[in-house]
Amino acid sequence: MAGTEVSAAAPVSAAPPVRRRSGRTRLQAFYPLLIGLPAIAIVLVAQGYPLVRQFVMSFQEFGLAQQFGQDAPWVWFDNYTRVLSDADFWAVFARSIVFCAVVAGLTMVIGVLTAWLLTGVRTWARVAVQSAMLLAWATPHLSSLTVWQWLFNPSSGVVNAVLVGLGLEGFDNHAWLLDPLSFFVIAGAVIAWGSVPLVLFLTYAAMTQVDTSLYEAAQLDGAGPLQRFRHITIPGIATVLMLVATLQIIWDLRVFTQISVLQTAGGISSETNVLGTYVYQIGLGQGEYGQGAAVATIMLLLTLLLTGLYVRQLVRQGDDA
């Protein structure tokens, strides 16, 4: 979208200085800030205080007794040393990274391919798919989790019934959630199911903005649909893809609800913890707020690192295009 830029600050340097106008433009320069102010204030109040508190607490001995009024002594890096020298933590860490990479990757691939498919189908089919996706997206986590639990219920679930019906007797009363691998397959499916729609909507919207004359030109040059997708669609929506992928990675890295619910539905928590549930277990479950805060801070640094890498790439791409 080259050349469509209208900068709010532009007139200041461009227009001849007339007293009345310059007053207005100086005010105009503050508009973005004014509009942003409430959002910034909300973020500062809602996220700033807890963040500072978490950071401070991660350097203190803070357990149940401190929660009920005793002094919290400074232990500096003790919490971090304890966490980082704990094999459990590294198991959880590795599990979270792999799980996040697989689920976020899958979500992106399915979402983008479906969106691309939608650009080539009739209106009724597109509307039908979009409506279904909207419903899936709007379903609260806990409701959809209940349905997924029913599907995979060992004794009365549809999945086992169908598999047994197909002659696979081994799936009679098969408990999917007990084995960590199939636990994460189901958890991944639930999470991807809930996040594919947003990826689809955003990328589809971006795809419709790509200049159609480019496709026509490519077609005249003899490019097939796959080539057009690869060389026109993908570069055309790259910015949106980056944003969506970043969000997916962040969300999937700190996933909590789905894992926690599936753990009570049949998963063994010590074998299926990810960073989100691990922080909860250490901090609230064991009343070790200090250590929990340390894990949460490590998690935050990891997220910032990932986000930073993407933002850098994003900004660089903006310059090149």
Residues that bind other proteins (CB under 8 A): 1-2, 4-5, 7, 43, 47, 49-51, 53-54, 63-65, 67-70, 149, 154-155, 173, 175, 178, 239, 242-243, 246-247, 250-251, 254, 263-266, 268-270, 281, 284-288, 296, 300, 303-304, 307, 310-311, 314-315, 317-319, 321
- 31 in Cβ contact with 8 (< 8 Å): yes
Q: Are 54 and 265 in contact (CB under 8 A)?
A: no
In sequence order, the 6+-apart residues with CB closer than 8 A to the CB of 202 are 240, 243, 244
Tell the smallest beta-carbon distance from residue 47 to other proteins (Å): 4
Instruction: Compare residues 192 and 206 and give the one whose CB is closer to other proteins.
Output: 206
Minimum distance, C-beta of residue 98 to other proteins, in the bound complex (Å): 20
Between 117 and 178, CB nearer to other proteins: 178
Query: In whole angstroms, how close is the CB of 200 to other proteins at the nearest point?
Result: 18
| Least Å from the CB of residue 226 to other proteins | 26
Burial of 135 (0-12, 13-18, 19+ CB in 10 A): exposed
CB atoms within 10 A of CB 207: 20
Angle at 17 between CA 13 and CA 20, to 5 degrees: 120
Least distance from other proteins to the Cβ atom of residue 65, Å:
5
Nearest distance, CB of residue 222 and other proteins, angstroms:
30
Tell me, rounded to whole angstroms, the distance of Cα 58 from its chain centroid: 25
Collect all residues with Cβ–Cβ distance below 8 Å to 233 and sequence separation of at least 6.
116, 207, 210
Q: Is the CB of 129 or the CB of 294 nearer to other proteins?
A: 294
Closest to 296 measured CA to CA, from 95, 89, 100: 89
Nearest CA to 24 out of 9, 37, 36 is that of 9
d(CA 206, CA 77): 46
Q: Least distance in Å: CB of 69 to other proteins?
A: 6
For other proteins, give the closer residue by CB, 208 or 227: 208
Residue 143 vs 219, nearer CB to other proteins? 143
Nearer to other proteins, 155 or 227 (CB): 155
Q: In a 10 Å sphere around its CB, with 0-12 CB exposed, 13-18 middle and 19+ buried, how is residue 256 labelled?
A: middle
Cβ closest to other proteins, residue 219 vs residue 270: 270
Task: Give the Cα-Cα-Cα angle 251, 44, 310 (nearest 5 degrees).
Answer: 40
